[in-house]
Amino acid sequence: MRAVVTGGAGFLGSHLCEYLLAKGWDVLALDNFVTGAEANLGHLRTNPHFEFLQQDITKPFDVKGQVDAVMHFASPASPPDYLKFPIETMLVGSIGTWHALELAKARKARYLLSSTSECYGDPEVSPQPESYWGHVNPIGPRGVYDEAKRYAEAMTMAYYRYYGLETRIVRIFNTYGPRMRLNDGRALPNFFYQALTGQPLTIYGSGKQTRSFCYVGDLIEGIYRLLESSEHEPTNIGNPQEITILEFAERIRKLIGTAAPLEFKPLPEDDPKQRCPDISKARRILHWEPKVNLEEGLQITLDYFRGQMPRS
Ligand code: NAD
Ligand code: UDP
């Protein structure tokens, strides 16, 4: 079996490539490095079952050889990244998604879209089940990401209905672990970097907003089970352990053993007030649930980040 992974040099894409190789797949990763890094794949480059092609997937491209699965992970994902690359984000979610779907259709391959909890926007229902249609501001700054992913879901469902393509849609909730960029601007790398360098931890708004953080190893296992299932409707994968951002910062301070203060900054526009996955569906159809708790996951991530810190 051979998979094409778009966004393969990113945080999640690189873990997915590694996981597929370990399961005996051949893997071709595509990436243009807009937010990813060659170093994320460095350890795979000598593996004879792994290939890499530097490619912007919003431009037409061809893939040689057998393709059994197309796993579409290309897209900036951190809010500061998609605010910096708004047009690229919309194009990879629209044209990039279309190209990935066309590749899967041409090769009669299975197709999996990495969608997001951002499809629920600033949700008025919590936890969020897949049946919730969401509360998204299409013209706010986050709209470029949210609407691109909602479009990508609609396009994927159209290929399922119109062409009978075998499609899967995973709605990923906040995920963390090794290979996140220390400077990607998300809460977790920011807090780690700040705590490790003794700078104030920046809390946006009151810090009472919630998120639910899933360890990357758990997420990839859930995604693989979804790929292997026959479920074509969106499926949430995430960790339902909900925590306020203030409490999250506190956990990281404790773990690192720093007395670095907190610094309150304005809440970004349309920042969701709560986010927690309802994973009953994943439990029922995939027999999946997260195994790594926050303490363990944060420790593994800290060990990784320590190795990434610039030497003084
Ligand atoms: P990331 O930024 O680390 O990885 C995305 C990768 O896509 C990068 O390597 C980037 O260079 C590549 N890319 C972007 N545009 C491209 C293009 N036009 N052509 C080729 N490559 C392109 O982000 P991530 O956290 O690994 O996210 C991966 C996917 O998972 C994204 O689609 C994201 O929307 C989704 N997701 C992630 C999370 C999370 O918590 N990490 C949550 C929800 C959804
Ligand atoms: N956040 C914060 N301080 C930071 C970075 C983020 O308080 O330095 C907040 C952000 O406003 C949001 C939450 O932490 O409420 C999670 O942000 P992140 O960028 O990690 O991802 P999101 O879930 O918003 O996509």
pLDDT at 15: 98
Measure the CA–CA gap between 64 and 72, rounded to whole angstroms: 17
Q: How far apart are CA 130 and CA 18, in angstroms?
A: 28
Distance 307 CA to ligand 1 centre (A): 23
With a CB cutoff of 8 Å and minimum separation 6, the contacts of 154 are none
Closest residue by CA, ligand 1 atom 19: 56
Q: How far is CA 6 from CA 16, 91, 231, 233, 261, in A?
A: 10, 14, 21, 21, 40
CA distance 257 to 192: 11
DSSP character for 96?
I
Please tell me whether residue 5 adopts helix, strand or coil conformation. Answer: strand
pLDDT for position 131: 98
CA of 80 to the centre of ligand 2 (A): 10
Instruction: Specify the ligand 2 atom closest to the Cα of 275.
Output: 23
Residues with CB under 6 A from ligand 2: 79, 174, 186-187, 190, 202-204, 209, 211, 245, 268, 271
Contact 152, 115 (CB under 8 A): yes
The secondary structure of 241-273 as a DSSP string is -EEEHHHHHHHHHHHHT--PPEEEEPPPTT--S
- Tell me how far apart the alpha carbons of residues 307 and 169 are, in angstroms, rounded to a whole number: 34
Task: Say what the pLDDT of residue 133 is.
Answer: 98
**C-alpha 312 to ligand 1 mean position (Å):** 30
Predicted local distance difference test score (pLDDT) of residue 310 = 78
Pair 239, 214: CB distance under 8 Å: yes
- Please give the number of the atom of ligand 2 that sits closest to the Cα of 118: 25
Residue 312 pLDDT: 62
| CB neighbour burial string for 175-187, b if at least 16 within 10 angstroms, e if fewer | bbbbbbbeebebb
Which residue type sits at 279?
I
- Indicate if 145 belongs to the active site: yes
By CB atoms closer than 10 A (0-12, 13-18, 19+), residue 116 is buried
Provide the 10 A C-beta neighbour count for residue 109: 21
pLDDT at residue 311, as a whole number: 73
Q: Kindly give the confidence (pLDDT) of every residue in the chain, 312 residues in length, as a single tens digit, with 9 standing for 90 and above.
A: 999 999 999 999 999 999 999 999 999 999 999 999 999 999 999 999 999 999 999 999 999 999 999 999 999 999 999 999 999 999 999 999 999 999 999 999 999 999 999 999 999 999 999 999 999 999 999 999 999 999 999 999 999 999 999 999 999 999 999 999 999 999 999 999 999 999 999 999 999 999 999 999 999 999 999 999 999 999 999 999 999 999 999 999 999 999 999 999 999 999 999 999 999 999 999 999 999 999 999 999 999 999 988 776
Q: Name the catalytic one among 111, 120, 145, 224.
A: 145
pTM: 0.98
